[in-house]
Amino acid sequence: MAKRIDVSGLTAYYGSHKAIEDISMTVEPRSVTAFIGPSGCGKSTFLRTLNRMHEVTPGGRVEGKVMLDDEDLYGTGIDPVSVRREVGMVFQRPNPFPTMSIFDNVAAGLRLNGSYKKSELAEVVEKSLKGANLWNEVKDRLNKPGSGLSGGQQQRLCIARAIAVEPKVLLMDEPCSALDPISTLAIEDLIGELKERFTIVIVTHNMQQAARVSDRTAFFNLAAVGQPGKLIEIDETERIFSNPSVQATEDYISGRFG
Ligand SMILES: Nc1ncnc2c1ncn2[C@@H]1O[C@H](COP(=O)(O)OP(=O)(O)O)[C@@H](O)[C@H]1O
Ligand SMILES: [Mg+2]
């Protein structure tokens, strides 16, 4: 199958600190890939290299190549802002724009992208909120602030905001770690629905979650503290959790370390 994302030889630095080294992997369209591994092994850093957010951190720098379909994301003349439109991101803590209404939160990205008629905006906002399984809960209070919603609702609002601009890829960095179990299940169900339309890459510290939501799982690890994180293996999720190729993966998933 054609690859949506094709990473080769990706190394990322914070100043002189090499955080991740020589990562290569591919991601197929309309799939969910989970990143697992101990804290500090570079999962978030690697995720942020996939939409050029890593370089926003002072000293943040990348070597290697990331292809999104036929586009070299670090190629000359590529606008990082347009990359972030194609590769959206959802963060650990729901971060709706606090002073904006629910409607405006979802419309925010669209408004940045150009001019829409009011009716067009309303259509996309409704479609996105439906896509994020939030419409029924908020349709009667679209003009109330997004910050008035529960944590789980705020996270779905952030997902609605992210999908409103129709990205190819959705990156999620521990999107459920601040949520209660019910809200977590709602997001997991949603991920299953969203993968019909989007390619999803999710970092999770919860291995049951990785097993539940993902098609493929990538295990990252560090040889020692201070060493760069590396991709140890990536495979079908079922295989990673039943019969991984590498002993370190086996040790991690069976809870022997990390
Ligand atoms: N903003 C930053 N500045 C400097 N070093 C950072 C920054 N963010 C992360 N790091 C370092 O990069 C490495 C990987 O971190 P991170 O990507 O957050 O790992 P993970 O998400 O797997 O816990 C760690 O050594 C961490 O200290
Ligand atoms: Mg992280």
pLDDT at 243: 96
Q: In terms of DSSP bridges, do strands 5-14 and 60-68 run parallel, antiparallel, or are they unpaired? A: antiparallel
pLDDT at 1: 63
| Neighbouring residues of 117: CB distance < 8 A, sequence distance ≥ 6 | none
Residue 132 CB: number of other CB atoms within 10 A?
A: 26
Best CA proximity match to 201, nearest among 23, 12, 27: 27
* Protein residue whose Cα sits closest to atom 14 of ligand 1: 42
What is the average pLDDT value for the chain, to the nearest integer?
96
Instruction: Write out pLDDT tens, residues 119-129.
Output: 999 999 999 99
Instruction: Write out pLDDT tens, residues 80-139.
Output: 999 999 999 999 999 999 999 999 999 998 888 778 888 999 999 999 999 999 999 999
| Neighbouring residues of 72: CB distance < 8 A, sequence distance ≥ 6 | 65, 66, 78
pLDDT at 83: 97
pTM: 0.96
**What residues are paired with 60 via a beta bridge?**
14
- What does the pLDDT average to over 200-204? 98
In angstroms, what is the C-alpha Rg of the chain?
A: 18
Domain ranges of the chain: 5-253
Handedness of CA 112, 113, 115, 118 (dihedral sign): negative
CATH superfamily of 5-253: P-loop containing nucleotide triphosphate hydrolases (3.40.50.300)
Best CA proximity match to 155, nearest among 100, 92, 86: 92
pLDDT at 70: 95
Q: Is 132 helix (H, G, I), strand (E, B) or coil?
A: coil
175 CA from centroid of ligand 1 (Å): 17
138 CA from centroid of ligand 2 (Å): 30
* Element containing residue 184 per DSSP (H, E): helix 181-194
Instruction: Write out pLDDT tens, residues 209-221.
Output: 999 999 999 999 9
129 CA from centroid of ligand 1 (Å): 33
Instruction: Write the DSSP string, 69-110.
Output: TTEETTSTT--HHHHHHHEEEE-SS----TTSBHHHHHHHHH
CB 105 near ligand 1, within 6 Å = no
256 phi-psi bin (left φ>0, alpha ψ -120 to 50, beta other): alpha
pLDDT higher than 80, residue 258 = no
Beta strand extents in the chain (DSSP E only):
5-14, 17-27, 32-36, 60-68, 71-72, 87-90, 169-173, 199-203, 216-222, 229-236
CB 221 near ligand 1, within 6 Å = no
Tokens, residue 174: 């521990």
Instruction: Write out pLDDT tens, residues 47-79.
Output: 999 999 999 999 999 999 999 999 999 999 999
* Protein residue whose Cα sits closest to atom 27 of ligand 1: 40
